[in-house]
Structure 1
């Protein structure tokens, strides 16, 4: 469903004036007298607010029965939405309502749309009411109580109740599914017993009684400051998670929120409004075990927190049947369940945590564990199992302890994959192995949804001939049609005749040959006659967004970028022909890129043409007090500069620099003073700042020279382990000397070249080396 998010704050939306302007004098009806006079005040209130209307003859009809359709309509109108929001919701859900009702009861369609949005009725419930004919039947008192409580925003509270003691003489005759709803109305004085102290749950509802109940409910909602929230019509920033710690701070209550992306500290000022079950509560509700969502204003200040108590959280596990932006459909113990999602739903899939955009129905997820609020809306969802098919041409095969592939996908982007021994591999439909010599062959990979980049099966075809490159032109007035392609590998342009009835797609959708455009990137398959029988086309330029998780410097440097979806992208860069590089909005160079930088990479015709990076500056510093490593992962505990303590998760992609070189988590020790870049509670990079070597010399091979910034990228071999690592050598001092190691001749930076072997003398400054003498071998 296409829903437009309104910019206005939800508090203003829900507490604004109701649908009709209130007149100065209360509305009266000639037939609301005598035995109906007890309801006159409430009927007048509802008429003034435009929720109930009288008949054309000026009467109200207090004794007439209310139908279920009318009951839903007045509950929607009683929610207090603005005219603008009411109309917008009606427009957004018009197709959904029409799909259920057709043109029947068209005068109620807008009201029913609002009922669906507010959760007064579900899609399935409205459909059942219509198909059974109940929408036009008189509604019972207990059913009206059910819809009314939902309309008040207290449906979740009703669902969480486990005890509902009422003094009505006929309390036992209230349906079990309605008792908690009637109980809330009884508790808050919205319903009262008859002279015989009966509720009469099965009795049909009169307009007078329904107006009385609704008038009291509206007043109660306003007096208590109850604010239901329409997720799709909000646009504020937020963060959410399970509260693992709550403490008093100088600026308010400090919460530690745990989510699929790690732990995060949030300060809730005393001015923030705390809501539980949509009702304002005190800060005492912010305690360990509850689920909390902090809502920010435009200045990044927490203005409200939505809380779900630990006892109200419901875990639902099942087999995935379908996924959409609106719902997760599961089979739970043989029963179909539809769990609604919204923009506040946190989804973890493929090792990545994000919003509902990760709910990919084509990804093949098999299992889901969802945590819902009492209304049944998904707060968090973890999807596991299943595979996603990736097609492309093999770029390289690396064998060893593990087998890895680089594959250029049909859109021109190169991705890295690991192939465990357990993976099923076929070559030309026969069981085989991945090895060198398969470069350029077509491969279809089934990638695990649980571990990004890990392959469960690989099917290689060497029999078919594929070409990847950009379109130089087409001719479709001749027979056969002709396409001109520039091969991405050789750079040569070649003309190819089109086969009869070729399959052609653009961005996955079938198009005509005449729709193909110059400069699109294509993967073409040739038939046995060398004619093009299949084309998969994509824009000539694509962008990859993510975080740099590894940099392997060499004459051809490979930068690994982990995308927002967890996919690994391998960017191969020729050090002698580098793309344009920007960092923090300014022109930069490859030696300035760092693991942890967020990047947007532009790839044109399979070549990286621009890397735009944003530095992740160190935002945490402190002293290591403990390192915890177990089967669940690694955690670093720090004593911060202000004396407080905090813990941070360490991922497999976290970079560690100690003594100026790349290190492992195990090299960290209690007492190390570190500077860290932290994102969503997880350490992205760690630099040990108190283990600097006061003076040293390092020897290595030059990979890159930055003449503008006067720095050298040096590949150094560890004398103990033999492993190579990269050091940035700064030669910014005007006193830096360059000497030929053989005869002591004085040289200059301009005399150095890529591939030269040097020895640099100086001292480490953090992860970089400041050189005072350079000896050139």
Structure 2
């Protein structure tokens, strides 16, 4: 089915859809912001992804009012129709044939031909279904609700796993109500569960006789699509070559390439998520599917697998032969050539992601070729340079200067974009016509600059940092473009300043803040330019009051009044106005969609002032610190961020704790920071994720596939994460960085919620010789191996380990000690003093990186693995491992089983 979509509505789709139970064409409903064609499935509905996908595939349809009725029970006859469409066999159903069933087997006329076809295809068994109808005397077989066990059987047959069900017919499930599952259904339930098609419900029950809603049915059939190779009209598969806000480019298995336009109606999803997502969920070179419209646009795009279906080769460019569509590289001592498709030339980017022409790659440039390993073509898909090719001039303002790294972040006046670059070693810096040093590079200064090969080569400081004023926000006049404020709280002396059209707003905890996020009474700092125009607004304090863990008592939509009861049973009424903002667990929703959640008993968090509701957040989870965990009464009490407590009941929730297998509710300890997710009725906790911090060693990095593998050095257990835009990445100084900056063997501190990675911070490790120690000031000067002395502030909570003893002071550290200094996962400075051992060399094995010693005792170690970065020297002269020969006396410093320094006498 080719489906054309326009704008943000599904009107064109709805006109051509037919009733699932009558087959009659119906009228389009009014346009809405819904992501499905059905007006009763609002954006944010828990099954919207599956309903939308199946609607585009033509598997599910609505009624003559544009309603899907997601909460209505799925009938048996409706389930049969969806199953036949799911198998791609609807065109084989003879709707004109006259079908007769026994009087006890009642099926509505529209569905008779489908049910008859299902019997022929052995989706249904006549003996089973006629017997079922006889047992339900007085009920219509077709319009009766389909049970969970009955749909499991239908679904397993639809995916062709009847034989598996027969083999599993005698095996009990792990559900608490296993004995309630009919013996004829047991094998099918086993197969459906093992293939992740159906899941249990609260209390580890399957509820076999329970019915399915139409929303649940859409979810089941959507999940099952991964187990069957049915093709739907307009749907294709392949790997993404390009993912952009305007276009998706897909490579198919036969080597052909298709471009799909991205529109306002395009929906994005991932196979590992139950929800619709943003385009950020799509990863280049991963397997995917797309459902296209009649005009070549993508209606639905889903990431099936993040594993990059490519291989990479690196080398030095020899030549780009355009006439033969070949790129030749020098790899080591050999020259190898790789072909590309001239009609779809590979993209070429430098180290900053800037696109350049294939023919403009500099001679002898070091490049990485990304080559198709998915289709039959095996062509070059992309070329990445390891250096920058950016050359430009511009004007901007300094955001920050990092003297340790030699990097300068500048916000460009023309683009408004802030970017960080290295300052070239030969760069010149001028101010007032004089050459000055880098200490003049202060935040807020205006500069003109020249960039050569990605580095600042020339900087001219044209203006000192901007002026700033503080006050209390009154309002933003968007007509006159003024910020109105007072110098004291609740003052009637209102002042005003014009604001720049590109004014920035910064509020802690609010991403992409705008003027609309400012509240009357906010304590603000206004940054002004030379003309006195506001260019930046920083909120330092909020005047609104917040209430966490409230419950809606009543709601009067016509008057815009909502009554909220707090945790102590006190109620207050709040006025909703045009400035009130709404969100569902932190995700903004429209006022229209928020109306569905204004239900008595619904848990909410609110922000209010003087009886006006500034924001309301509808809650299905709570985050806080565990105060008590009563495992007998099964009540979890959390202290929330506003200081209030919330007591939550639970049954047998799923519990995720990083590094802990088989965690249960009893694993949750007082003091743990957790996020507890509530059931649909908000009455019970169904899952808990515990927040943890850990220090890990990087095992491998796949920047192309955004995969990071790291291990716990104590247990050796490794974890692989696929990083998306939600994972924050920081360098050693806390500045934002990319996955490409992570290196194998490096140390990182990670923050995880359950097993979900939230942030990664590179850990700076200083390894060297102590030059001086000031225990009182908490500082230690270290000379890194082969480097210059650097002074480190260990702080008050230092942890020092020396000779197997751990202390909280630097007093035990002495000059000439070899140390490793790092920050642990909690931010504490850890100083490890490395003890020296003097031995006599037997021989050095450079191939294995091992140094063998002459034994000094029966139990003495006779060899040590040498770190690839070990400092091997005599005096200030650096030596090769192979220069250590039989009889040499050496002093060896070993850290975590590897020699990091070897001093030859």
TM tier, smaller? under 0.3
TM-score (norm 1): 0.27
TM-score (norm 2): 0.24
Structure with the largest fraction of helix: 1
Q: Which has the higher contact order (CA 8 A, sep 6+)?
A: 1
